[in-house]
Amino acid sequence: MSVAVNIPENMDLIYKYPDALTEVSTHYCPGCVHGIVHRMVGEVIDELGIRGQTIGVAPVGCAVLAYKYFDVDFVEAAHGRALAMATGIKRVNPDKVVFTYQGDGDLAAIGTAETVHAANRGEFLTTIFINNAIYGMTGGQMAPTTLPGMVTTSSPTGRDCAVAGYPIQMSEILAQTAGAAYVTREMALDMPSIVKTKKAIKRAFQCQIAGLGFACVEVLATCPTNWNQDPWASLEWAKESMTEHFPLGTFKMTDAVKALKWRD
Ligand SMILES: Cc1ncc(C[n+]2csc(CCOP(=O)(O)OP(=O)(O)O)c2C)c(N)n1
Ligand code: SF4
């Protein structure tokens, strides 16, 4: 949906609301990164001119209402099943561009099997994986990605890795699968990283359009509400603490993906 803007004759419009997003306020908390990543995905869909052929799959988690925020066809998957549903959609509609948008509870806990096998099968799908190290929607319980010692509502004395295991590194795991073509971990915590993450998201969509295999962009994000931090503090904390356990970087980029001419 386009937002009407009156531009004076001597000026050009250089920045506008993405057509691929609906003109509604989101329910996300102040300082939440979900809205920023929605915007990036919307801009990428616009820039690639694929709005009419894109189908999104929403998770269960705080992004459960993603279908309301994107002006593209969308379906809602059961918790963790987004990549199973996306697989079916893409296989019967190979001409469509299908993406999933998932949190760490959805993708890396209940949906681990669906995620690993979709990557291993090399499904022609794009996954946007928001890692905020916690279950946001349900009140801040420990996720598989929760940092060692991190206090959550279900680990009130801090995550004890001897009992609860260690923060699971999904990008490193997915990069080991034969079917993955492009796997990268980025963050959306300041302007430079937001610009870089948008480029990665664009590559992940282009990877699918070129039929090169499974692509996943993990985005380190915040959950100020359940971290009990103000938005600014949460950005700094994420940059310092999350990157220690989740190093940024591209873990897999096949030669075919490298050879693509990126339209950044
Ligand atoms: C089968 C099933 N199990 C558990 C739940 C409860 N549940 C809803 S959202 C969620 C976790 C969400 O966390 P995450 O995926 O990290 O997303 P966030 O809210 O942090 O963006 C859980 C456990 C559910 N809805 N369905
Ligand atoms: S609970 Fe956390 S992840 Fe959910 S909208 Fe609020 S800040 Fe974002």
Task: Map out the domains of the chain with their CATH numbers.
Answer: 34-259 (3.40.50.970)
Give the position, in ligand 1's atom list, of the atom nearest the Cα of 131. Answer: 16
Q: How far apart are CA 24 and CA 18, in angstroms?
A: 12
Residue pLDDT tens, the chain, 264 long: 455 667 888 898 888 899 999 999 999 999 999 999 999 999 999 999 999 999 999 999 999 999 999 999 999 999 999 999 999 999 999 999 999 999 999 999 999 999 999 999 999 999 999 999 999 999 999 999 999 999 999 999 999 999 999 999 999 999 999 999 999 999 999 999 999 999 999 999 999 999 999 999 999 999 999 999 999 999 999 999 999 999 999 999 999 999 987 655
Report the pLDDT value the prediction gives residue 263, as an integer from 0 to 100. Answer: 56
pLDDT at 52: 97
Closest CA to 188 of 223, 215, 214: 223
Q: Give, using CA atoms, the residue closest to atom 10 of ligand 1.
A: 61
Closest-CA residue to 234 (of 117, 163, 83, 132):
132
CA 179 to ligand 2 centroid distance, Å:
32
What is the 8-class DSSP label of residue 78? P
Whether the CB of 103 sits within 6 Å of ligand 2: no
Q: What is the pLDDT at residue 260?
A: 86
Pocket test for ligand 2, best of 62, 189, 234 (most atoms within 8 A of CB): 62
Pocket test for ligand 1, best of 28, 36, 100, 106 (most atoms within 8 A of CB): 106
